[in-house]
Amino acid sequence: MSSSATHPQRSALNQRTTPYATALANHAERDTLNLMVPGHGATAAGLAQELGEFVTERALALDIPPLIPGIDVGPESPLIAATRLAAEAWGARRTWFLANGASQANRMAALALASRSRGDVVVAQRSAHSSFTDGVILGDLLPRFVFPSIDRARGINHGVTPDALRASLADAQRAGDAVTAVYVISPSYFGAVADVAGLAEVAHVHGVPLVVDGAWGSHFGFHPELPESPARLGADLTVSSTHKLGGSLTQSAMLHLGEGPFADELEPLLERAYMLTQTTSPNALLLGSLDIARHALVRGSEAIGETIAFVEKFRERLRNDGTFGVISDGFAEFEDIVAHDPLRVSIDVSATGVSGHAVRDRLAAEHGIFLEISTAHAIVAFIGPGKLPDLDRLAAALTTLANAPADPRRNLDTHILSPSIPELPTPGAMRVRPRDAFFGRHETVLASEAVGRVSADALAAYPPGIPNVLPGEEITAETVAFLQTVAASPIGYVRGALDPAVAQFRVLAV
């Protein structure tokens, strides 16, 4: 069974329906005796009483296993119909419903690209998500990197320009690399949108598909004031973390195959990668939520417009007050940014005198306000499409924090603001294929002994969140100093490090 489908004639589709979610609901209403998994039997009776109180009995009734006739069996099942509707909604040729998040989509993409006969080199944005690095390792790909632009004052990385990609592909060609694909990210955490159409054109001129990690832009394309869906701009594969701002349940996601020159070749490879990465027991609630999220987005243009206007008023309030900067107002300074996500408010909180991490922590602890992202100097508020949350509450809390001087005696104020991140070091040479380094025999050594050795791990200093070392790369003295400097900062940490001070490294054994 595959929760995906080839796109039929679009005129035959009815976006006003939710075929899979409706089939689940109809099944839940039936008088059934469930002598199968899951063990709660779709009721809150017996030992499932506590679970029913926790998630509601309705959720138990909808939590049915795969391979039920009339729901997900056969090429014309309601589940297949739902994926066809999703493909049309996002402008794709084919869409897969995923129960293992956008991380699954990234691994699917990497495995499919590794199966192409063209080559094994992928030109990737250096700030790629760790799940794509996982896919590189699993598929035994060889990455070559293009660096994103960086706002060094705030420790934020954005995207890449078509010119930067063109130069990287030319470098790969001169080096004799057999490039199989290009991988970029748009939008960024902060909502910066890259020139996807331009990037697709560059990739296609070089004869390779473009993969766009659009995890943070699953709502794109559903209102004139939102950026367009990457699939409609020429992306060959689009990773969509639908639960993030698309409205589905956490962990649900989609992978969209575009109507591009590589679709016929990639489709069967992706189907095989899907079978390797999707659980054989996908949660019906997760998949059903994807069907409902698509339906809501397609029909919710007016509500989305209200949210966009509502959020813009909040930005204008911040501008008029002048205490906190709106970071997206400065996006024009970066040539890679062609648009921004209007449903994200990126706020420079330097006026508080403490780091964005401390502000985020205090907003949660003292005001019950939870935000998605914080960095050394900023916080980012995400507002879901069609939502009108109490942003007055956020504004009042920020004002309170700005008027309260930092107190080092308070644990949440220990992250005093620092001016900027150190200069990024140049990554060491890729001396061993990432897969061989990751799975090879390794040993742990002191930092002083790691210089010149081959890393078995991926290490990324935050800020700005760009991997400084990947499996197979040589560890340089410059990189060690950079990682330890960031780790010693009250606002920094190193993801993947064996210890907080980055005093030890895991390296390939000699």
Give residue 232's pLDDT.
98
Q: Could you tell me if 410 and 359 are in contact, meaning their C-beta atoms sit under 8 angstroms apart?
A: no
Q: Could you tell me if 142 and 122 are in contact, meaning their C-beta atoms sit under 8 angstroms apart?
A: yes
Helix axis angle, 101-114 relative to 263-277, nearest 10°? 130
DSSP state of 389: -
Give residue 372's pLDDT.
87
The whole-angstrom distance between residue 195's C-alpha and the CA centroid of its chain comes to 18
Q: Residue type at 57?
A: E
Spatial strand order in the sheet of 373-374:
325-326, 344-348, 378-382, 373-374
Calpha distance 315→345 (Å, rounded): 7
Residue count of the chain, please give it: 510
Whose CA is closest to 256, among 84, 135, 94? Answer: 94
Ramachandran assignment for 454, one of left (phi > 0), alpha (psi -120 to 50 degrees), beta (any other): beta
Calpha distance 359→366 (Å, rounded): 10
Cα-Cα end-to-end distance for the chain? 46
> Could you tell me whether strands 94-98 and 4-6 are parallel, antiparallel, or unpaired per DSSP bridges?
antiparallel
| pLDDT, averaged across the chain | 92
DSSP state of 476: P
Calpha distance 395→411 (Å, rounded): 23
3-state helix, strand, coil in the chain (%, to 5): 40, 15, 40
Calpha distance 174→473 (Å, rounded): 21
Residue 123's alpha-carbon distances to 157, 232, 270, 291, 302, in angstroms, are: 18, 22, 19, 33, 39
pLDDT digits (tens, 9 = 90+) for 79-111: 999 999 999 999 999 999 999 999 999 999 999
Spatial strand order in the sheet of 466-469:
466-469, 459-462, 493-495
DSSP result, 277-297: HS-SS--HHHHHHHHHHHHHH
Element (H, E) at 255: strand 253-257
pLDDT digits (tens, 9 = 90+) for 388-400: 999 999 999 999 9
Q: Could you tell me if 475 and 507 are in contact, meaning their C-beta atoms sit under 8 angstroms apart?
A: yes
| pLDDT tens, residue order, the chain (510 aa) | 556 554 434 445 789 999 999 999 999 999 999 999 999 999 999 999 999 999 999 999 999 999 999 999 999 999 999 999 999 999 999 999 999 999 999 999 999 999 998 899 999 999 998 899 999 999 999 999 999 998 877 778 899 999 999 999 999 999 999 999 999 999 999 999 999 999 999 999 999 999 999 999 999 999 999 999 999 999 999 999 999 999 999 999 999 999 999 999 999 999 999 999 999 999 999 999 999 999 999 999 999 999 999 999 999 999 999 999 999 999 999 999 999 999 999 999 988 888 888 899 999 999 999 998 888 889 999 999 999 999 999 999 999 999 876 565 555 555 555 545 677 889 999 999 999 999 999 999 999 999 999 999 999 988 777 889 999 999 999 999 999 998 888 767 899 999 999 999 999 998
Q: Could you tell me if 406 and 354 are in contact, meaning their C-beta atoms sit under 8 angstroms apart?
A: yes
Whose CA is closest to 101, among 346, 257, 289? Answer: 289
Residue that has been written with the tokens 């409706």 in this structure: 22
DSSP result, 312-330: HHHHHHHHHH-SSEEGGGG
195 Cβ partners below 8 Å, 6+ apart?
161, 162, 336, 338
Question: What is the pTM for the complete model shown?
Answer: 0.93
409 Cβ partners below 8 Å, 6+ apart?
none
